[in-house]
Chains A and B, each alone.
Chain A
Amino acid sequence: MLFKKMRREIFGNFGQFLSIFILAFLAISLFACMKASNISAYNRLEDLYKKTNNADGWIYSEGFSGEDLQAVKGLPDVKDAQRRMHITANAKENDHAQLEVYLLDENVVSKPLIMSGEEFDADRTDSLWLSESFANAWDIKVGDEFSYVYNGIIITGKVAGLVVSPEYQYLKADKDLDIVIKNISVVYMPYRGFPAKDYIKSLIRKGDLTLEDAIEHSALVREKIEAMEEAGVSKADITTDVFLDMVDQMDEEKIYGLLPYTELIFTTDTKDVKEMEQEISDALDGDYAVFCDRDDIPGIKIMMDELTQHDQFAVSFPVIFLAIALLVIMTTMNRMIAQQRTQIGTMRALGLKRPKIILHYLSYSFVVSLLGSVAGLYVGTYVFGEAIAKIFRDWYQIPGWTVEMDGSFLVVLLAIVFACTGATYLSCRKVMDIHPAESLRPAPPKSGKKTIFERLPFWNRLGFSTQYNLRDISRGKLRAVMGVFGTAAGMMVMVAAFASYTTIKNTSSWTFDKLQHYQSEIDFDSDITVEKAEEIRALYDGELVQASAVEVAKSKSAIASEKRSTTLMVTEGKGYFALTDVDQNEVTLEPGTIAITRKLAKVLDVSVGDKLYFHLYEKNTWYEVEIGLINRNPNLSGITMLREDYEKLGAKYEPTFLYTNSEVSDDAVKDGSGILAVHDDSDLRESFDVMMSMINAMIGVFIAFATILPVVVLYNCGNLSFHERVKEFATLKVLGFTSRRIRKLLSLQNLWLSVIGIFIGAPFGTVILQYMFDSNGDSMDYQVSAGTLEYLLSGVFVLVVSVLVSFLFHKRIKKLDMVEILKGIE
């Protein structure tokens, strides 16, 4: 019977219980949509890593010998280890897409996961394995021929399989601002399929492989030189041509001794891989450049950052909705129980036990929040979550990524339901403490007493509506808090929506007006000489820039955890590639110093005047520099220095780009020209346009949430306020107040609460947005900004919602049955 009572009363107070349902639904669906796709991602990643025996540690150097491999393999903590060579090349066709090529002579660690075609086989020297995403984007099939260019050498192989690389969930070409699948692929190739002789010769011609290097790395070369020395030829007599002849005459098989294994990767069960650095260092006699764990591998780390961001969102956003849901529940149940005081008295007089009555009232919010939570869990997981997974599947390479649930879903569901039910318990406990006989009588009218507002010196000059509403607010504090909190949350979301738009717009003008004073970017072949690059600069004018991967640290003897992988930009200081300070003002770099980006400086805890140490990723030499500027760049993290200073350090300048304002036609890209690709800034502008359209879509979602929150909360406030004051309104109506005036009286309070909420919520809009942008990882540093217009628009929007909500009550006030309401004692 009590169940029937509950059911009828829930339907009788449909508006309020629907609000609770919606809020519980939103809270858990937000949690579920972020979490469900994340859980699936983590589970599928675990599968992927297990199947491919993905590495736990990566060691880079100029070359690892077989002894090095054995030494690492022999370490007690190391399970499997393997050497490989890694180069970055470009596709011969396919828009010269960037290729991360791995040359393997065994397939033990970080094996490519075969999606179609044959398993990787190091003996199939005529074959190569391509990323499935890239192959699909270009319609490349298993069995097709595929060619790429490296250091001027064209390498062709038959596509034997399409794969997913366990090291590249995040796969983005260097030239792109965001992921463009068709611009990048991972390529796996048998070590012996690589044309070693041609490659070595190209290195010798470029000066990158000297005779000394060859003697150090190849026993074969050592023997030959010794033989030549015995025959009376000194090392100095061996010119580049002689050296090239020597290589030409060498056995193809033996030449591989000169081809360096630049990476050594291993698996381990050790939790903190970085702790192994000392034993690794000992095993390799310190002869390596960088030691990394999975947190340092961009292809893994950026994906993990994204998942961590989702994990944070999965908690922070639902908490807002849950807090509002609890406020709504407490106020709704307070009113309902106060209204049912005599019914409760009757039930107790009839002999119903106290726990049974309490349970009855708990069942209202229990049922509604449970229904909302279950619906939210289902829709959040399978509709919203799947939609999110679908978006991210296009960006990140995780096979089988969809949505999955785990035990945390049940925990959150129970937490929400118990929180809602617990809030109800707090409401009904008070009535239960009243003596049954007393609760049979109506509650004494709320004792009128002076409110805090009445101490205002101008209280007596306030109009009736103002005084009346101020007193009502002080009688219904919780309701007022709910109204303020709800509108504040709505305002916060709204400001964040508009601010995301201005932030991207600002970032675009920051990039194109302040940081990039060029229209075209020429990407050089990786084997270009400085002389050739300077020739090209003479042709087009502009500024040469070298971009290199480096490792930086605060001290020379930093351990792995104190080092950071980042980018070094070496400029000629001509201003084509410009710098801005933390406030986006253009600044120039003082010669003799370097600039470091704000976030990186913070991570390393360094400031202007401090010393900084860095080394190129593939080289073992550390350089010392002094920080002269903390700069800020939205799209680039790292250090910047002048060419003259870089060369003074003794490092070899290797330009990567030419930034110019001249028009460069696509015809400039041809074999032997040294030019790999030409981009005008429309590519970059296009990336911003794509981001803008994504932001616009996001604003749509934000606006939806920003509407739901104030509508639900203000409707509830109005509803509660209306029910609490219905008798007073009827009295006012009998006294001659028009319906319109009563509606105004009711909406005035909502309007105040909205205005307060707007002021409270406004500053948090940019705070939450900055938090969202910052949680995108260290490589981005967007400066969130919102102008007066954005605040104004958001405020007006929330106010309009507030006013519209008040119209929902107009009909009810008009239909107010004065006779019915005034005749009853209740």
Chain B
Amino acid sequence: MSKVIVEFKDVVKKYGEGEATQLANNNVSFTIEEGEFVVILGQSGAGKSTVLNMLGGMDTPTSGTVTVAGQEVSAMNDRQLSDYRARTIGFIFQFYNLLPSLTAYENVALTKNIVKNAKDPAEMLKAVGLEAHKNKFPSQMSGGEQQRVSIARALAKNPSVILGDEPTGALDSETGVIVLELLQNLCREQKKTVILVTHNADIARCADKVIRMKNGKVREIRRNENPVPVREVEW
């Protein structure tokens, strides 16, 4: 059995106060093992993005603990959180969030300013099949290409955990497949832990583990004994 890399324990997240209080996460508990390809599935408002934000050190729980790679993220201060985001997490956004004034190469090379042992940006771009586009600015690339740059950027930091918030949400299905395949390969070949948040149930078929959420609660944690290769999924 692999080692547990992520542990959510009795996590509650509330927004607002008094009557306006909204319970985004209600006693959420789960674990994820190292090298797993996990999909957190749920409809809009299910609380899945809140889970991802807390995992990414961008938000803190109201109660409960979040532990990632042996570090209690829920107890960290601002500085420790920055350090955690820099070293442990690679984030992939729905809308890529590349810096528009930097080229593809520079967006990836940015990681050198964040961690000391960042990987070679050229190699990372090659890994995502964009070596020919390295001097293009984001506005000169398609959505899929931009998302691949975003993945290359996440990988360059050599993080233990890669988080993706609807990474294919803004892409057409063909491009989405390429991106997902890339992420699945990271898991299989580089033993990275990949956690994706999506409302697309088809994508869940590719995952090793599916955590289904509804109304802020975990409804089901299911292990896929035979994850489907991404190419076989249609949506």
A-side residues, CB < 8 A to B, are: 444-449, 463-465, 467-468, 471-472, 475, 727-728, 730-739, 814, 818-819, 822-823, 825
Pick the contact of B95 from A464, A737, A814, A825 — CB < 8 Å? A825
- Is the CB–CB distance between A448 and B101 below 8 Å? yes
**B168 → A minimal CB distance (Å):** 16
Pick the contact of B82 from A471, A730, A731, A736 — CB < 8 Å? A736
Contact A444-B139, Cβ < 8 Å, known A734-B56, A738-B82, A739-B82: yes
Interface string of B31-72 (1 = CB under 8 A from A): 000000000000000000100010010110000000000000
Interface string of B102-136 (1 = CB under 8 A from A): 11001001111111000000000000000000000
* A618 CA / B111 CA spacing, docked (Å): 88
User: Which residues of chain A come closer than 8 Å to B89, judged between CB atoms?
Assistant: 736
* A465 CA / B99 CA spacing, docked (Å): 13
Can you give 6 contacting A-B residue pairs, CB < 8 Å? A447-B139, A448-B102, A467-B106, A735-B153, A736-B115, A737-B113
- Is the CB–CB distance between A448 and B82 below 8 Å? no
* A621 CA / B152 CA spacing, docked (Å): 97
* A465 CA / B101 CA spacing, docked (Å): 12
Q: Name B141's closest neighbour in chain A (CB-CB).
A: A448
- Is the CB–CB distance between B86 and A822 below 8 Å? no
* A122 CA / B32 CA spacing, docked (Å): 114
B87 in the interface (beta carbon within 8 A): yes
- Is the CB–CB distance between B103 and A727 below 8 Å? no
Q: How many residues of B contact A (CB 8 A)?
A: 38
Contact A448-B139, Cβ < 8 Å, known A728-B99, A735-B110, A822-B97: yes
- Is the CB–CB distance between B86 and A736 below 8 Å? yes
- Is the CB–CB distance between A735 and B85 below 8 Å? yes
- Is the CB–CB distance between A739 and B58 below 8 Å? no
User: Which residues of chain A come closer than 8 Å to B91, judged between CB atoms?
Assistant: 734-735
**B56 → A minimal CB distance (Å):** 7
Q: Name B103's closest neighbour in chain A (CB-CB).
A: A448
User: Which residues of chain B come closer than 8 Å to A445, judged between CB atoms?
Assistant: 100, 138-139
**A552 → B minimal CB distance (Å):** 67
**B117 → A minimal CB distance (Å):** 13
User: Which residues of chain A come closer than 8 Å to B79, judged between CB atoms?
Assistant: 738
B192 in the interface (beta carbon within 8 A): no
User: Which residues of chain A come closer than 8 Å to B98, judged between CB atoms?
Assistant: 731
User: Which residues of chain A come closer than 8 Å to B84, judged between CB atoms?
Assistant: 736
Pick the contact of A735 from B101, B109, B114 — CB < 8 Å? B114
Give me the 5 closest cross-chain CB pairs, A-B, nearest first: A736-B86, A448-B137, A471-B101, A736-B85, A447-B139
* A347 CA / B162 CA spacing, docked (Å): 41
* A540 CA / B91 CA spacing, docked (Å): 93
User: Which residues of chain A come closer than 8 Å to B139, judged between CB atoms?
Assistant: 444-448
B7 in the interface (beta carbon within 8 A): no
* A3 CA / B157 CA spacing, docked (Å): 49
- Is the CB–CB distance between A733 and B82 below 8 Å? yes
Pick the contact of B58 from A444, A727, A819 — CB < 8 Å? A819
Contact A818-B58, Cβ < 8 Å, known A731-B97, A737-B114: yes
- Is the CB–CB distance between B138 and A448 below 8 Å? yes
- Is the CB–CB distance between A735 and B102 below 8 Å? no
B83 in the interface (beta carbon within 8 A): yes
A-contacting residues, B9-37, CB 8 Å? none
- Is the CB–CB distance between A471 and B102 below 8 Å? yes
- Is the CB–CB distance between B53 and A448 below 8 Å? no
**B112 → A minimal CB distance (Å):** 8
**A745 → B minimal CB distance (Å):** 10
**A461 → B minimal CB distance (Å):** 13
- Residue among B99, B110, B139 with the highest chain A CB neighbour number at 10 A: B99
* A15 CA / B157 CA spacing, docked (Å): 37
Contact A472-B58, Cβ < 8 Å, known A733-B82, A739-B82: no
User: Which residues of chain A come closer than 8 Å to B224, judged between CB atoms?
Assistant: none
- Is the CB–CB distance between A449 and B114 below 8 Å? no
Contact A737-B102, Cβ < 8 Å, known A447-B139, A822-B93: no
- Is the CB–CB distance between A447 and B102 below 8 Å? no
- Is the CB–CB distance between B113 and A464 below 8 Å? yes
**A115 → B minimal CB distance (Å):** 71
* A475 CA / B99 CA spacing, docked (Å): 13
* A149 CA / B219 CA spacing, docked (Å): 113
* A316 CA / B231 CA spacing, docked (Å): 72
- Is the CB–CB distance between A823 and B97 below 8 Å? no
* A755 CA / B125 CA spacing, docked (Å): 38
- Is the CB–CB distance between A823 and B82 below 8 Å? no
* A448 CA / B146 CA spacing, docked (Å): 13
Pick the contact of B140 from A447, A814, A822 — CB < 8 Å? A447
User: Which residues of chain A come closer than 8 Å to B56, judged between CB atoms?
Assistant: 734
User: Which residues of chain B come closer than 8 Å to A464, judged between CB atoms?
Assistant: 106, 109-110, 112-113
**B18 → A minimal CB distance (Å):** 21
Pick the contact of A727 from B97, B109, B110, B153 — CB < 8 Å? B97
User: Which residues of chain B come closer than 8 Å to A471, judged between CB atoms?
Assistant: 101-102
**B210 → A minimal CB distance (Å):** 23
- Residue among B82, B85, B93, B101 with the highest chain A CB neighbour number at 10 A: B101
